[in-house]
Structure 1
Amino acid sequence: MIVVKVGGSAGIDYDAVCADLAALWQEGQRFVLVHGGSGETNRVAEALGHPPRFVTSPSGYTSRFTDRKTLEIFEMVYCGKVNKGLVERFQRLGVNAVGLSGLDGRIFEGKHKDSVRVVENGKVKVLRGDHTGTVERVNVDLVKLLLGAGYLPVLTPPAASYEGVAINVDGDRAAAALAVALGADALLLLSNVPGLLRNYPDEGSLIPSIPAHDVERYLDVAQDRMKKKVLGAAEAVQGGVKRVIFGDARAGKPVSAALGGAGTVVS
């Protein structure tokens, strides 16, 4: 069992990812696909007159501040356009995919954080009205039910809070939690770079391998969104996932290449 997370930034080749996954699926390999949609969400939010707001925590992590209107735009893009676009691709390729959000069946569940501490102009502030959280529980039975019936699950944030409120959760960490819950052999984190770069954006500075016990040390190397991917990788290997690969989703056969060791391999 392999969990594949594909990001939503510019340059991602969803056609290539889906074609590669479909070919492997038809050979008998089993996957769960988790996806993002940040780039398209930003474009839609701008068009709707509610541009995205990104904030940085005191520990250096950047995330989207998700008020209620932002959450609604987020759901529109992630659960609608991007999710169904991926499902349609798989259906065309002969794979019977089912697209669900983490809210459906409480596939992803966690605590609702109504406020967030951020650093602005060198000062720490508290912003309220946030709809975010971290995946703490996975409804693995529902995912296994779909897999057992021959469906390819295509999953996306948001998650459900324990009170049933939709919450924005980080897709990489959600995928890591899913990989742990499924006892996956590998977690692939595919984005628009070839892997973890020591000197971003220099693609010649790719770090080819990281020992599993040492992965958290690379948080200082990671830039921006890659920090969450490294954190997710650390959580996955600590939970028993044997391999985590940071791979390139821009062209070719992204899944096969990552499984073959292309990118940054944490093992």
Structure 2
Amino acid sequence: MTCAQAHERLAELAPLSGDEALPQDLARHLQSCERCREHLYASRQMWDELAHWPEQEMPAELVRTVATRARAEAKTADSPLAIALVFGLVAALASAFVISSRVSLDHVPPLGLVGVGAVWTVLYSGLFFLFRLAREHQRAVFFLTRAVLVAGGMFLLLSYLSPVPASITFCSRYYVTQPLLDRISIAATYFLFGGVYAGLPMAIAAYLTPGPLRENTAMQGTLAGGMFALLLTPGIIMQCAPFAFGVLIGWFTGALLGSVLGGMLGFWLRARIA
């Protein structure tokens, strides 16, 4: 643990008292770092002085002014739900555009496209709503949802550069990978590629995620990976329409497993290296 990380943890644990037990990793760092011990001592002194600070009643005029301004701002503030719905709609349209620009969707009926788009809008909106709602009070949820949204953007970029069906077609003709793909079923092939296409963005996004995500990396990776796999489902369904149902199951299963493993790996590396 670095001094900067120790100061961040101390800020998260505030207010600090002399009797409060500290996390083990933070306590170990404090034992070997005099500078951080002085910082802890100064923080405890500050909170002790604030605890004995005499309470003062706010002037009535100031209370009325603050209340009036708060009500006015509440009326003019944008609804978080409305913002989330707008974001979800824009993100769903952008995702559908990226996929349709690289993969033919002629096999998908118009009603099916509308249904998939609606599901995608709901998923994006829900994630963004959690992202905004947890920004102030649930920092762990905030960083998890941010990692999922970032991974979603990376997945779209990867799908635009080389969609899964196109990559499978290329590898089935390339002399190095052709013998391997010839030995497995098409469903198993989509399982492998689905895992890679989901696991790589999720691992990178999890590793790049800052914040208080240093413990329980397995649980965090599972939660983020599950949400990410759910976010990918509409895109997988759109591209799997001309294939057998087994291909859809194989692709989704691979994406789910890759997302979870990628999230666990990314958060674990972040906790150990960053």
TM-score by length of 1: 0.27
Which structure carries more helix by proportion? 2
Greater relative contact order, per chain length (Cα 8 Å cut-off, separation 6+): 1
Q: Which protein shows a greater Rg? A: 2
TM-score by length of 2: 0.26
